[in-house]
Structure 1
Amino acid sequence: MPRSTLLHHTWRLPLLISVVYVLLQLTAGSSWTLFPDSYRYARAAEQRLGESREEAHRTALEAFCTSRASADAENKRLDPLAHGAKADPTTCLERWNNAPDITTGDPRYQSIFSSRPGYPLVVAPFIGAFGVLHGMRGFGLVMSLAGALLVFELLRHVGLSPPRAAIGHIAFLVSPLGWWSLQALSEGVVTVCVLGTLWGGLVIMRGKYLPGAVLFAGSLAVCAVTRYSTALLLAALIAATTFVSWCVRRSRRVLLLTGAAAGSAAAIALVMKILALPNSEVTLQDTFTRHFRFPEVPNPWNRLVALDLRYWQHWIAAQAAMPLFLALTALALWALLRYGRGLGPLVWAAALTGVSQVVAHPLAQEADRLGVLMWIPVVFGVPLATQALRDFRLLPNDRTVRDADSVVEPGCVSTADPR
């Protein structure tokens, strides 16, 4: 088969899956709505497009209130005691129209978002072309599909056939990774950047240093502009996991990646220091003062430890009651060790990044979003585990070959091992 035809068939399946996914999202819906953070991102994007702060506030607020009213009306329509529920954003608009922000105008809180301009920058063209609601939803679709296609290509890069790689493509879209990438939040951009960083690291380990370094550093840079805390954690954890891998394999390429990741982490930390970006102390005070509505607490780190103990006890109990995620993660651990071909340390660094984000913000109502990267091993491990089925099907043929080799023709001397 000519190579062009082969490539055509290689991409036919993921493109078909993507088309079906988009049609489902646009026709069946996905309980999509704007979040309070979405309002702030939309406001920043409108300012990038030339609106004043007041105009951007009103535009973003109108979209937020319309979205929330539609969601409330949908919930009421499902209530057997409610009749004829309609979307009415009036109350929301009246409440926040003259306020500086729908949460708080405290400059410490606002600095958390102003220091992360990446998502407003990339979503601004979509908002300019289609408006806030349609633009942010369309951009979410692009991010979810981009993440799924990156998973497909990474799995192809480690040797999976197109049908098996398509399992990862589907797994991404149906997992929380796909759902959060679809939302009007920075998770989609961050997830695509994380996957790009993993791909760059894998290319470096394959010996293609320049393209791998460009992809690795470029993805981390975009991630840092979007959410620098995630970029810092990811780089540091890739350095840690690849160093452990080097201790086992003693590969020069793995050691080069370890150095690149460590250098990237140091560079991000230095930029944070120079620009005086909000650090963990600020975000902890935000957590324990409910967005600075209450006085700052004197011991946020002690409070964090206590809250972590309570949260992770709750998480373990929830997983014990429904252990699907743990079972899939265990399968992924085995598959990545057996068939990962260098991908394992990178994937587990991404997963540990998700764990670290939840440890830093152990809030039950936000943990699913903050810890969404914990699903990355599942998305890669499940399709890799299908390689075991291929190996199992080959076993009978192997036995046949061994039996044929042990047959002794009349008058010949057997060379089979007598043991």
Structure 2
Amino acid sequence: MKARSPRFWVLVLAAVFALLQLANVTGRDTPDTKNYLSYALSLRGESKHDAAAATIDYACAGKVAIAHRNHDVDVIRFHAASPDARVLEECRRDQWRGVSKRLAAGETAGHTVPFMPPRFMRIFEVRPGYPVLLVPFITVLGVTWGLWASAVVITVAGGVLAFLVLRSLRASTVTALTGQALFYVLPCGTTAMRPMTEGLLLTLTLAALWGCALVLEGRARAGTWLVGAALALLFTVKHSQALFLGLCLAGGCALLCLRRRRWSGPLRSLAVVGGCGAAATVLLARVLHYPSETESLQDLLTNHFARPDRVRVWPEFFHLQLNFWLEWLRRQLWEPLLPAALAAAAWGVLRRRPAFGVLLLAAAITGVLNQAGHPDINIWGDRLIVLVWLLPVVGLPLLLEEAAGPRPRAAGGTVPGPLRRDTEVAR
């Protein structure tokens, strides 16, 4: 590592990751991708019909790619005629059937193409952050390569932020690079590469954690501003994540202040920023008439408003919560990679950096809260709870550093680091 600067190895890891993603340029989209893409095309000035056409072409191209790959490895039909033309025709017919009816019925309000009922599309109308980010990419590179390139940029940025978080905690270069690599290879990277908001949620949450690390290392002003900016951007991407992260960071800072029996200093400022961010999120959501919590539950329990509204929505929701977490726990015990990774990472970060460990745990809990808001066991894997993987991304490298033995200490009891070389390492 001494032959090259840390920046060189960060770029190498990012470049290798980006090159590997060329193996899957299409076929990563989900049903939500259509809503975000049509939003971005509308922001670019496309008409509803043109936005629908481009979005449907992209979605169907993804289905064709997956069908083609499955066909090639089908042990019975691999030598039969390709299904590409049939899949493309069926996909376009199915997608246009619903869109054409809704457009003819006058459902042209908002930025998104009406792929679903207006109440459901309203949920995506209040998330402009990700579509705004997509606009320059799809304008310059087109829809397919624009979505791919934007996902690569978002994911690479997340890995770089994981590196910066660990370096700000005075971890070694190798340890920080390990965190960057873990972000790419764990479900964080896989999920961030899907054209949805989860990639931005991961990256912006890591930006907030970087701010927390800066605060704990003595750069309170820069760190506090970074946390505030991350919360503000999260509001535009998915305001519930801004609410959860603000509340959890404020709660973590409050616990640290209680432990130290001192309600002053940078931690108090960080708690105020988190609390104000959460309060501002709730207030702005009400002022802007964002869909309420009850509306979100109706969407969940009525299969995206395809059924009549439930009368006892909250009791049914809590009943579903109990069933969901019991089944989720059963599946985790069957394949206990996530629980083991979380336990090891929590041990590593709380031993090496206990103060930051509390804030890292607080950020990871937002993944649990996000999943609890949508207790659907079949909703595209574990993308809703993916934020809990930030704990292993940062905690596991610190655990490995602990296992490797203490770092050599410089004269005066200080540890050389990337930020303030005249301060003791935070314990």
Tell me the TM-score normalized by structure 2.
0.87
Instruction: Assess if the C-alpha contact under 8 Å between 1:106 and 1:292 holds in 2.
Output: yes
Give the superposition deviation at 1:30: 7.4
Residue of 271, 274, 288 corresponding to 1:258: 271
Residue 10 (str. 1) matches residue 6 (str. 2):
yes
Deviation at 1:221, TM superposition (A): 0.9
Shift of 1:138: 0.9
Sequence identity, in percent? 30
Question: How far apart, in 1, do the equivalents of 2:340 and 2:162 lie?
Answer: 21
Q: Which has the higher helix share?
A: 1
The alpha-carbon deviation at position 242 of structure 1 amounts to: 1.6
Q: Distance in 1 between matches of 2:261 and 2:391?
A: 24
CA apart distance, 1:109: 0.6
Alpha-carbon distance, 1:389 to partner: 2.3
Aligned to 2:312: 299
- Pairing 1:149–2:167 present: no
Equivalent in the alignment of 1:380: 394
For 1:360 and 1:253, the matched residues in 2 are separated by 32
Q: Deviations over 1:149-177 (max 9, x none)?
A: 10011101101111111111111101111
Matches within 5 A, 1:64-79: 64-79=59-74
CA contact (8 A) 1:156 1:162 kept: yes
CA contact (8 A) 1:200 1:213 kept: yes
5+ residue gaps, structure 2: 103-112, 409-427
Contact residue 158 and residue 341 of structure 1 kept, 8 A: no
Would you say 1:163 and 2:174 are equivalent positions? yes
Partners of 2:26 and 2:65 lie apart in 1 by 10
- The corresponding residue for 1:309 is 322
Partner of 1:327: 340
Match of 1:410?
A: none
113, 119, 126: which one aligns with 1:115: 126
Alignment partner, residue 24 of structure 2: 29
- How big is the shift at 1:208? 2.6
Question: Equivalents in 2 of 1:200, 1:38: separation in Å?
Answer: 30
Cα distance, 1:385 vs structure 2: 0.4
Report how many residues are paired.
389
What's 1:185 paired with? 196
Q: What's the secondary structure of 2:382's corresponding residue?
A: helix
Letter in 2 for 1:208: R
Separation in 2 of the partners of 1:248 and 1:107?
A: 49
- Whole-Å separation in 1 of the counterparts to 2:317 and 2:355: 35
Indicate the residue corresponding to 1:405 in structure 2.
Answer: none
Alpha carbons 1:33, 1:71 under 8 Å: kept: no
Shifted more, 347-356 versus 9-18: the winner is: 9-18
SS in structure 2 of the partner of residue 361 of structure 1: coil
Distance in 1, matches of 2:26 and 2:356, equals 34
Deviation per CA, 1:228-266, whole angstroms, max 9, x where unpaired? 011111101111122112111245221221111111111
| Residues 336 and 343 in structure 1, CA contact (< 8 A), matched pair in contact too | yes
Which residue of structure 2 aligns with residue 343 of structure 1?
356
11-20 or 337-346, larger mean C-alpha shift? 337-346
Alignment correspondent of 1:368: 382
Query: Match of 2:49?
Result: 54
Partner Cα distance (2:48, 2:188) in 1: 32
| More divergent stretch after superposition (17-26 vs 135-144) | 17-26
**What's 1:85 paired with?**
82
Q: How many angstroms apart in 1 are the aligned matches of 2:339 and 2:114?
A: 36
Distance 2:384 2:271 in 1: 25
Residue 210 of structure 2 corresponds to which residue in structure 1? 199
Q: CA deviation at 1:34?
A: 1.8
Q: Which moved more, 1:168-177 or 1:343-352?
A: 343-352
Within 5 Å, which residues of 2 pair with 1:103-142? Answer: 104-142=115-153
The alignment partner of 2:84 has SS state of coil
Deviation at 1:206, TM superposition (A): 3.1
Is 1:143–1:181's contact at 8 Å kept on the other side of the alignment? yes
Shift of the 7–241 alpha-carbon distance from structure 1 to 2, 3 Å rule, reads farther
Please report the RMSD computed on the Cα atoms of aligned residues, expressed in angstroms.
Answer: 2.1
Q: Measure the CA separation in 1 of the matches of 2:211 and 2:3.
A: 22
Alpha carbons of structure 1 residues 291 and 104: separation in structure 2 relative to 1, 3 Å: farther
Distance of 2:81 and 2:253 partners within structure 1: 58
* Offset at residue 341 of structure 1 (A): 5.5
Larger Cα-atom Rg: 1
Could you tell me how far 1:393 is from its partner in structure 2?
9.1
Partner of 1:272: 285
Task: Tell me the SS of whatever aligns to 1:277.
Answer: coil
| Change in 2 beyond 3 A, CA 1:282/1:85 | same
SS of match in other structure, 1:291: coil
Match of 2:417 in 1: none
Cα deviation, residue 7, structure 1: 11
Q: Which of the residues 330, 352, 357 maps onto 2:365?
A: 352
Cα shift readout 1:324-366 (whole Å, capped 9, x = no counterpart): 2111111111111111253212211111100011111111122
Equivalent of 2:302, from 280, 289, 312?
289
d(CA) in 2 for partners of 1:30 and 1:371? 24
Q: TM-score, normalised by structure 1?
A: 0.88
Quote the Cα distance in structure 2 between the aligned partners of 1:138 and 1:167: 24
Residues 1:42 and 2:42 are matched in the alignment: no
SS of 1:79 mapped into structure 2: coil
Q: Contact 2:234 / 2:242 at 8 angstroms: preserved in 1?
A: yes
